[in-house]
Amino acid sequence: MRKILALALLGSAVAAVAQSVPDKGIATPALWPAVKNPVAVDPAIEARIKDLLSRMSLEQKVGQVIQADLGSVTPEDVYTYHLGSVLNGGNSAPGGKQWAPPAEWLAEADKFYNASIRPNGNLPIIPITWGSDAVHGHNNVTGATLFPHNIGLGAMRNPEMMRKIGAATAIEMRATGLDWTFAPTLAVVRDDRWGRTYESYSENPSIVASYARPLVEGLQGKVGSKDWLKGSHIVATAKHFVGDGGTNGGKDQGDNISSETELRDIQAAGYKPAIEAGIQSIMASYNSWHGEKMHGNKSLLTDVLRGRMNFGGFTVGDWNGHGQVAGCKPTSCAASFNAGLDMFMAPDSWKELYVNTLAQAKDGTISMARLDEGVSRILRVKLRAGLFEAGRPSSRLLAGEFGKIGSLEHRAIARQAVRESLVLLKNEKAALPLKAGQRLLIAGDGATSYMKQSGGWTLSWQGTGLPDSEFSGATTIGKALVDASGGNAVISKDGSYKTKPDVAVVVFGEDPYAEFQGDVADLMFHDKSDNLELLKKYKAEGIKTVSVFLSGRPMWVNNHLNASDAFVAAWLPGSEGGGVADVLFGKSDFKGKLPFSWPKLATQYVLNVGDKTYDPLFAYGYGLSYAKPVKVGVFSDVSGLAPGADLPVGTWFERGKTASNLDFFMNVGPSAFKLQPGVGTNSDSLRTFAVDRNRQEDSRRFVWSGNSEGLLALTFGAPLDLARETNGAVAIEVDYKVDALTGGPIRLLAFGTDLKQSGEGINIEAQLKSAKGNGWQTMSIPLSCFAKSGLDMSKLQAPLSIKTASMLDMTISRIALGTSAQGMVSCP
């Protein structure tokens, strides 16, 4: 009955519309819920804030509202500029590393804290706070417990488990001296093309709302308790306020055009319970609402969040998000602060932002009253959290107790969460549960991959390029299945076998991604490792097939479903692969229910229960179990996609195919013509051939004769906007090999729609000479190299070109956007 009621309420929320379209993203506070903040005003704290403000210099006040990233700031900077906070971004760790062990985190926390409390004339001492994206455990630290990503937790339908996960995460953060997490994410995703879909618990706002309070209380403790924000607890952040999950087209950092009623009832569903639980920080969202960037939306950041919903903590920006406000840039944005942002997240722009914000406070662009207000909110949370009395991070409760990180107790919680998150989509021929004595073959590119089962935001921003050695204490799904089999299972990396198995378990799915790098054009699963062919092969040989699918969203996998006797949606389970083995071997039954509707077509990316045209393959809430088996039959192999639209977004060339509206050309502009394999150019300076790397004609060989200059241009048929990717430190990755070349410059270039080129380009002659005869290599070209030449990265025609008059024989198998940093070229 409760399920029926919840679905009815969700349908009502979806059907509700505002009476009028908002005027330029201006909200009406009276439409929003009036919330009672549970944190009472503390006269003693208010008196201390007043005293601190009276003794602070203007420079110190400005420093408090700025947060810098670990990769761009030093302890001495914290002292000199009075910075109120530091953060570690997804790719930042102590000592300039990408990841580091717990002891180094604690030592670094002490360094920054000591700098913040070093006496500076007569100024009051104000300790720093350190923020971190601990979004599925303390995921930036090696050896930490990695809980399932939110999409899997949403499948559990278990709010109390969220309390345990929050408490365990806080303990592991405290062991390393950190005191503030940028979690929980309360997005309600309505378009599954969004690259952050896995950070959402569900398309259903009631699931998100039900998880907000217990998770916040697990992280922060309960308001009124002695250890609220202290001891084993930390400060939490509800994010991203508001509308991030409902952008038009599912575009990361895009525009949300929903009505105010929908914004309130769907997108903001988790904020009322979070505020009622005493959340102390709320992060502004990158997205716009009807064209008004949230980082500058006063009606929502101030009038609604403060005035109507009575939020009593401080607001913090997202990574240079203030720079997207109209009239602003990362280094200057009084408009964002005046709109109600209390702390700028200015990872690499902080120093110039400090100078400009100080000048704006002096000339009145930012009033003293508004500056004092923002500083007061930050001080209030620091005082509530006991930072002024806590001492060095290494002296606090749990600090240095590194046994708490990845402890058996915490791993047991994560393993239970994995068990409860698995959703059984299909189970026929009694393929599951696996039985003692069966011969098992374990295959698939996800069977032994910590990265694939953990996803993005794992030791790095994208969760890629990580060695297995950094996952100490973790268990892959393949290893867990072998251990559970009693010695009757073997792992085969290529899928081959010597002794015919009874059952083949194939573990496969999406490669890791985060934020806009995960944005896709549709929900087609792009099987890069031929897992489908393996499944078909096993099935034809009379072997039962079990698929374990790893993904950050529901996807079109009808062909894989048809080739599987059993199919499990395992989401992104994290470090505890044993939870998957427990359920597959029948130690626990399947409990998970779909948190998102599963598409019948790859084009059903906007598919939410309550929609008028709701027609999923598997409905929201679907999930089979051993106790209640259901035969599902054969599914259509019609994906709904046009031919050729089968390369992932951000992949420009792979498997011998270019992405839609893209091809290889000789030259740019009016003289350009498409290069066809085996067909020479008029000057015969450049020829191309279809050749084999891993399969038939999956690569292109390009041969420059050296007789005259030849320009190879990867050209789009429409303007390409890579401004967002350039800001996100993305590179163009090229998988290539060089068989021959003679001396002379070989330049990489990019061209705008106006045919302006990126300066003189990047000479890669030395890099190609080094690669000559050494097989396949990867080259990464930072987009920022082209931007630094003055090229408008929002209006590109040919984002990658190779120009040379030398003889060059080069073969390319893949060109894609990425962040692996392999073979990184240096900007001029």
Catalytically annotated residues: 318, 515
**Rounded to an integer, what is the distance from CA 262 to the centroid of its chain?**
25
Q: Are the C-beta atoms of residues 216 and 142 closer than 8 Å to each other?
A: no
Neighbours of 636 (CB within 10 A): 12
Two tokens at 58?
């203007």
Strands 651-654 and 699-704: unpaired
Q: Which of 513, 580, 461 is nearest to 139 (CA)?
A: 461
What's the burial of 619, exposed, middle or buried (CB within 10 Å: 0-12/13-18/19+)? middle
The strands making up 566-571's β-sheet, listed across from edge to edge, are: 423-427, 566-571, 544-550, 503-509, 440-443, 489-491
Helix (H) or strand (E) holding 452: helix 450-454
Distances (CA, A) of 568 to 156, 436, 550: 14, 20, 9
Dihedral sign for Cα atoms in the order 297, 299, 300, 303: positive
Q: Following CA atoms 526, 528, 531, 537 in sequence, which dihedral angle do they give, to the nearest 10 degrees?
A: 110
Helix (H) or strand (E) holding 220: helix 205-220
d(CA 122, CA 607): 60
d(CA 716, CA 208): 40
Angle between helices 2-15 and 205-220 (to 10 degrees): 110
Bond prior to 124 in cis (omega within 30° of 0): no
DSSP 308: I
Strands 699-704 and 686-691: antiparallel
Q: Following CA atoms 131, 137, 140, 141 in sequence, which dihedral angle do they give, to the nearest 10 degrees?
A: 110
Q: Are the C-beta atoms of residues 539 and 545 closer than 8 Å to each other?
A: yes
Residue 430, helix vs strand vs coil: coil
Rounded to whole angstroms, the maximal C-alpha distance in the chain is 83
Percent helix, percent strand, percent coil in the chain, to nearest 5:
35, 20, 50
Instruction: Please name the amino acid found at residue 171.
Output: I
d(CA 98, CA 118): 28
**Number of residues assigned to the chain:** 828
Q: Which of 466, 436, 434, 440 is nearest to 453 (CA)?
A: 466
